[in-house]
Chain A
Amino acid sequence: MTELSAHLPQFQHGQLTENFPDNHLSNTNDNSERRRHDNNERRRNDNPESETNGQPQNNIQQVVEQDEEEDEELTLKYGAKHVIMLFVPVTLCMVVVVATIKSVSFYTRKDGQLIYTPFTEETETVGQRALNSILNAAIMISVIIVMTILLVVLYKYRCYKVIHGWLIISSLLLLFFFSFIYLGEVFKTYNVAMDYITVALIIWNFGVVGMICIHWKGPLRLQQAYLIMISALMALVFIKYLPEWTAWLILAVISVYDLVAVLCPKGPLRMLVETAQERNETLFPALIYSSTMIWLVNMAEEDPEAQRKASKNSSYDKQAPANQTQNEDAEADDGGFSREWQQQRDNRIGPIESTPESRAAVQALPSNSQTSEDPEERGVKLGLGDFIFYSVLVGKASATASGDWNTTLACFVAILIGLCLTLLLLAIFKKALPALPISITFGLVFYFATDNLVQPFMDQLAFHQFYI
């Protein structure tokens, strides 16, 4: 398998980096959208204040404000549903990864390392190993940072073709190549005989349908399923090719980086989000998981209605239909689904002001479509990179922990709680937030704690059959 490793880097490279920025991005998008959807009953008291923060930007009368507030409450009431809508795919992804790790031994065999992690971890001394893993992590992180900045630059200078091409190549690679390997390994594990022709047919169909679903139109469930599958595949590759300490270090550093990149004013991801907002554009397709998709016949019609309502904060929605003409490809479609709900409440005072021309153009369109969907149709979005890293954490926990299932369970619960808390913070701050740090921190803490502390305890208890 070593020869494969050589191929992997190049593509992974592309996939990696586009995932990361997008994961943050989508989070930021999500977050701004999600703050509405957030459930958590706790701290509802804060919401009135946060609403009043938005008020100054509001230049519409009291009536609309009143409506807004009521709508706001309505939204928040349904928030729990959206958290669950995120729980389910994250859980599914983790389950797939854990199931694969447990059954297919390929992913736990050490077959060499990626080109990005050149230092081996099988050294004689602990110190040497630590040093190597730190270096590995540093290299990986710098690669990610470079790719993110590259992506931001490309986006800023409107080199959309390049970005599209990059995305398409990497999703092609994932869908065909990695799933071929995966399928092969599963067949080997279960000793199923299969000829090449059948495999080719299966993989071809799988890949093509996947490409269509992700980059273009397709049934929502299918698209979600495909996104989950490619996240799981990616996570499996990481689990296989990253050595132990490096993996944990990378997880830790990535969450710090995520925090920094999204929240710092000069962070690349923040710039990306703001640029997207200014241009009223959607972010990249195929890198964001969305929980609902309302099919949009004519997206531009949203705008008039959107403008009618007040907006609170310019950092909310980005995917504006205003630039439909610019991106008539998958991007617009993908972004459109979650934008549907924006109809009821717009929160785009900033972007609207910045593109008065587009607004005028849109207003000229017939605004007869009511396309009023009920509030429950609103979707929540999460970046695929988040899926990947959560699954990497849980997968590594199940692969290499001495406490096996206990540790896996503990990490799983920790990640879910982290996700809840992130959404809660989202509701409070109403800003773009990174989804990684809290969950990964909890996950790491629980992993190490459970593995080293709880496991001996539980073993002893089980041995004596004591129950606590």
Chain B
Amino acid sequence: MAFITANWNPLGEAFYRKTDLYEMSWNLQDGLRDSLVAAAPYGGPIAFLREPHRCSPSSRPLLEIYSSSGVQITSFPWKSGPVVQLGWTVSDELLCVQKDGTVLIYDLFGSFKRHFSLGQEVVQTQVLEAKVFHSPYGTGVAIVTGSYRFTLATNIDDLKLRRLPEVPGLHGKPSSWVVLTQDRQTKVLLSNGPELYILDNTSCTAVCPPGVSPLSGSIVHMSVSFSYKYLALFTDTGHLWLGPSHLQDELIKVDTKKMTTPKQMVWCRRPQSQQPSVVLLWDRLLLVAGVCRDTVQFPIEEPCVLVGELDGVRIISSTNQELLQEVPLVCQEIFKIASMAPGALLLEAHREYEKCSQKADEYLREIKEQSMLGESVRQCVEAAAHEYDTNTQKSLLRAASFGKCFLTDYSPDQFVSTCRELRVLNAVREAGVGLPLTHTQFKQMTLQVLIDRLVYRRLYPLAIEICRYLKIPDYQGVSRVLKHWASCKVQQKDLSDEAIARAVCVKVGDSPGVSYSHIAAKAYECGRPELAIKLLDFEARSGEQVPLLLKMKRSQLALSKAVESGDTDLVYTVVSYLKSEMNRGDFFMTLRNQPVALSLYRQFCKLQEQETLKDLYNQDDDHQELANYYVTASYREKQRLESRLSLLQSAVDEYNKAKNEFAAKATEDEMRLLRFQRKLDDEKGAGLLGLSLQATMEALLALGLHKQAEQLYRDFRVPDKRYWWLKLKSLAEKEEWEELEKFSKSKKSPIGYLAFVEVCIKCNNKYEAKKYVSKVTPEQKVKAHLAVSDLEGAADAAIERRNESEMVVVLSRCPASDRLLIERLNRARATAAKK
């Protein structure tokens, strides 16, 4: 396997290697000279702006966007102002920072999305330099202006401009500067000659990291690592200082013996790096300087651009692209010449096995003796993940699979997931796709983001295949892709509404989690309301259709859809929208056709707008409800009799219109009663107003106003029974026994006389009660006697009536001592039973 190590260059303990990624398929006439170039990390796209300073209208510079493999995505002439800096956001949008401080945002396909400004004063002072950086908060922009002041925006999606304090003694362009993100704070580190300053929100502090002496010259270039953890400074004396970015320590100082300022300086390390290093780029030389003071030098023939990655540096030239990275430890162990690491032995064993050589067994034994078989498989799998060449991947994975056969309790998870992930990575690394991701980068960016990136590039089929292959739940996978696809599809101007609607429907079908209303909203945004309506028809959940329909001013349709959804909140939203949009008449008419909405609105009116309620009923000619409304209203007018009466009169009218004579009559009676009560209240201060008829009569009787009570009795045709009960109770309660007796004789009692007996007993007057016993009808005699606890009498009555069950009742009340009575009753019972 000597050839694998052929391109390894030792640097201290570690090795560095360059892997060919692509032969660039672009055809750049002038190479990379004279252009602004921005290449996004994680195998992102590359943007070019040729001759950015040219701004005469006759020959505009050309902005071109390529994929990482050099496939052109778009190109268009740059018509805006001169551009200082290009950069990519985390979501693959292109930022173009103009000299006047305007930042224009384009998507991957060159369509303009939006713009923002970095402040008014920048228009005057102009942007000298700009940097686009990534932080945990998103993508940020930092500029230094013509007045040598810094302005920062940490997240362009939530734009907050921060003007940093002035740097003392800075009277020209800073010789170099970088943006640092530390402790959730974004700062600028800048050098002015040999001096270093840190600028944060409020202050400017001069710093002096250990090992950097003013003597070593002025700092002309600096670079911060991908993770913001390390910093490299380059001085005009050719010294390179490496250290952590908090500037408390020093890692190493290297003398490069190069006096010229490098074109680019980029950190090249990987997570768990053995030998962090910095890559410096001059016109003809690429130099890798490690912490071990060693350097590796590569001559270069043509101009190139370095792109810092999480685990290496991509080197893009006009013809090809390479990845320079530290060889991962596990690969080193396996492929290092004469390595005896378990992985290396396993790979060898498998190779011998394929050759049908018994040596395979020897190697295996050797591994097994060290009981390192599990480790060896793990190493092979891990190394395969790091390899770019598919053949190497295959041989490593085969070896792993071979080794696995001799293990009984080895979990296949890592092997399987690595195989799957490699398959996906190989697919996206294809030149046609052009996402040269390493496995480490893939793990860091996550599958979700990878799918997003594919979707941004409109590689929908590939994205869907990947989702299906990796069995991602539809919600996060296929559906999301389809949603993007459909949103993009509706923007195709060359297709008819009909065709698009059909295409969308066929593809999307009823995938879970894809909302047609979302797609329709997109269509509406693109000015295709007809298409939007067509798409909305596919939306199964009617509730989802409503907001868009409202936006499109299809309020009637929105209302019926809202009602259909059964979500009252939604109905209410539409109703309140309609209320403000329509005139009253139309609004009511609309509601009238939607009973659910109507009753909802009524409920609301009952609590909030009583008057509207009346109008609603009026509109419907609902006289019954209108009358009820007036009655309710009359009870709110407790204090003023006149308005109360007039409200009741309105109620009477409405009841009549509703042909509810009963209610009309009852209401009229109520009015009469109210007037009567008022009169008496005025005359006698009786406090009757608002009482019911019964309560009024009770009150009158209690006050001894018998005549007036009598009048009510007659006027309101109170049933005799009621009146008699009432008077009986009232007299008894007031203990007017004579009056009661007189009353009992006034005519034959419609309620019988048992009632008299019972009421008297209730008022604890047995004596009076007895008076009425004789008048009770024979059927109730026994009861009456019992009520006054006259057992003898009860017994007599029962015996007289020869009623057995009554006798039993009397018997049950007899105390055991009264033997005489018991015997008599029993005898009578016996005779009654005989007959």
Partners in one complex: no
Listed in ascending order, the chain A residues whose CB lies under 8 Å from chain B are none
